C-alpha cells in the first residue's frame, strides 16, 4: 500500500521534475535578468531611485517620434507580409502534398542563412548601383538612381523578407483545415469564385491572419539588425536607439527604460488587437 502511494506521488511529480530544467534555465537567463533591467530603469547615475528616465520619454518629442516610427514601420511590414503571403498560402492549401512540401522548403530555406547576410544581399540589390537601379537606368525608365535604401522603405523590405515566412505558415495552417466541400457547395448554389472567397475562404482564414499579424508585428517592433543595416542613421527605431543608449553612451538606466517602454507598447498593442478581434467575433456569433 505504501509503495503504491509513493509511486502515485512520483507520477504526480513527474511533470514538474521534467519541467524543472527548462524552468531553471528560463529563470536564470530570462526572468532574473529582466527583473534586474527593470529595476535598473528606475535608477539615475548615482543609483538613486527615479522615474526621470520614463518622464524623459514622455516629455521629449524625439523619443515619441521614434516610437511612432517603430509602430508605423511594423504596421506597414504586417500589411506587406499579408498582401504577399496570402496568395502563397492560398496556393499551398490547394496544391498537392509534394508541391506543398516543395513550396514550404522554398519559403523556409532562405532563413537557414544569417539575417545579416540576407540584409547585405538586399543592399547589393537595392543600392544606388544595385541591380534594380542599374536595370531601370539601362532601360531608360529613370535617369537617376532611386533611393531604396537607408529609409523606411528599405527597412520595410528587409523586415518583410525576414518575417513573411511566419505569415505564410500561419495563414496556410488555417486554410488547410477548410473543408473543400464548402467551396463545392457554394459553387452549386451559384456563388462566383470571388464571392466564395469573401464568404468562405477569407473568414475561415482569419485565425491564421490574426496569428501571423501578431507574430510579424511583435518581431518587427523588436527587430534590430535589419533597421540598423538597411535603415542606417536616417531611420531610428526603438531597438536601435536602445542599443545606442546602452552600448554607445553607456546610459544603462535610460536604455533599460526604453527597452521596457518598447516591450510594454508591443504587449499593449497586440493585446488591444486581439481583444478587438475577439469582441468582433463575439458580436458576430450572437448577432447571428
Angle at 87 (CA atoms; ends 82, 90), nearest 5 degrees: 110
In-domain check, residue 114: yes
Q: What are the phi and psi torsion angles at 49 (to 5°)?
A: -65, 135
Read off the DSSP letter of residue 23. Answer: H
- The answer to whether residue 108 sits within a structural domain is yes
Look at the chain and report how many structural domains it folds into.
Answer: 1
CATH of the domain at 272: 1.10.3720.10
Bridge partner residues of 49 (DSSP): 43
Q: Tell me the pLDDT band of 201, cut-offs 50, 70 and 90.
A: confident
Give the number of other CB atoms < 10 A from CB of residue 51.
11
Residue 264 in any domain: the answer is yes
Using the predicted structure, report yes or no on whether residue 5 has a pLDDT greater than 90.
no
pLDDT at 67 over 90: yes
Percent of the chain whose predicted confidence (pLDDT) is above 70: 93
| Residue 257: closest CA among 39, 41, 73 | 41
Kindly give, in sequence order, each residue whose CB lies less than 8 Å from that of residue 146, ignoring residues fewer than 6 positions away.
Answer: 132, 133, 136
Identify the residue with better confidence: 268 or 6. Answer: 268
- The string of pLDDT tens digits covering residues 69-114 is 999 999 999 999 999 999 999 999 888 888 999 999 999 998 888 8
Question: Residue 194 — very low, low, confident or very high, per pLDDT cuts 50/70/90?
Answer: confident
Mean pLDDT of the chain: 88
Q: What local confidence, expressed as pLDDT, does residue 170 receive? A: 95
Looking at the domain assignment, is residue 25 inside a domain?
A: no
DSSP code string of 112-135? GS-HHHHHHHHHHHHSTTSHHHHH
Residue 89: inside a domain: yes
Compute the Cα dihedral for 131, 136, 137, 143 and give only its sign.
negative
Residue 281 pLDDT greater than 70, yes or no: no
pLDDT of 46 higher than 60: yes
Is the residue at 42 inside a domain?
Answer: no
How much is the pLDDT for 234?
86
What would the pLDDT profile of 128-180 be if each residue is shown by its tens digit?
A: 888 899 998 888 888 888 888 899 999 999 999 999 999 999 999 999 888 88
**Neighbour count for residue 152 (Cβ, 10 Å):** 17
- Has this prediction a pTM greater than 0.75? yes
Residue ranges making up the domain that contains 134: 61-287
pLDDT level of residue 4 (50, 70, 90 thresholds):
low
Q: What's the confidence (pLDDT) of residue 284?
A: 58
Whether 18 is in a domain gets the answer: no
Question: Residue 282: its pLDDT value, please?
Answer: 52
Within 10 angstroms of residue 232's Cβ, the number of other Cβ atoms is 15
pLDDT above 60 (res 196): yes
Q: What's the pLDDT tens digit per position in 25-42?
A: 988 888 898 899 999 999
In a domain, 14, yes or no: no
Amino acid at each position: 500500500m505504501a509503495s503504491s502511494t509513493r509511486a502515485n506521488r512520483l507520477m504526480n511529480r513527474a511533470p514538474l521534475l521534467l519541467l524543472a530544467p527548462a524552468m531553471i534555465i528560463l529563470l536564470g537567463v530570462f526572468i532574473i535578468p529582466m527583473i534586474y533591467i527593470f529595476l535598473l530603469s528606475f535608477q539615475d547615475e548615482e543609483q538613486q531611485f527615479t522615474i526621470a528616465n520614463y518622464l524623459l520619454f514622455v516629455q521629449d518629442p524625439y523619443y515619441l517620434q521614434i516610437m511612432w516610427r517603430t509602430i508605423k514601420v511594423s504596421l506597414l511590414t504586417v500589411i506587406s507580409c499579408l498582401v504577399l503571403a496570402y496568395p502563397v498560402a492560398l496556393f499551398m492549401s490547394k496544391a498537392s502534398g509534394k508541391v506543398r512540401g516543395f513550396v514550404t522548403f522554398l519559403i523556409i530555406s532562405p532563413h537557414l542563412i544569417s539575417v545579416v547576410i540576407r540584409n547585405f544581399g538586399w543592399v547589393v540589390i537595392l543600392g544606388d548601383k544595385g541591380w534594380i537601379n542599374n536595370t531601370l537606368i539601362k532601360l531608360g525608365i529613370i535617369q537617376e538612381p532611386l533611393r531604396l535604401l537607408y529609409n523606411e522603405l528599405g527597412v520595410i523590405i528587409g523586415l518583410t523578407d525576414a518575417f513573411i515566412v511566419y505569415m505564410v505558415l500561419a495563414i496556410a495552417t488555417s486554410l488547410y483545415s477548410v473543408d473543400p466541400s464548402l467551396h463545392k457547395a457554394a459553387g452549386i448554389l451559384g456563388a462566383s469564385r470571388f464571392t466564395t472567397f469573401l464568404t468562405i475562404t477569407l473568414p475561415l482564414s482569419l485565425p491564421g491572419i490574426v496569428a501571423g499579424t501578431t507574430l510579424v508585428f511583435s518581431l518587427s517592433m523588436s527587430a534590430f539588425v535589419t533597421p540598423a543595416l538597411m535603415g542606417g542613421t536616417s531611420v531610428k527605431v526603438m531597438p536601435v536607439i536602445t542599443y545606442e543608449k546602452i552600448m554607445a553612451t553607456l546610459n544603462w538606466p535610460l536604455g533599460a527604460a526604453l527597452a521596457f517602454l518598447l516591450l510594454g507598447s508591443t504587449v499593449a498593442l497586440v493585446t488591444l488587437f486581439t481583444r478587438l478581434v475577439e469582441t468582433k467575433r463575439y458580436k458576430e456569433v450572437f448577432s447571428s
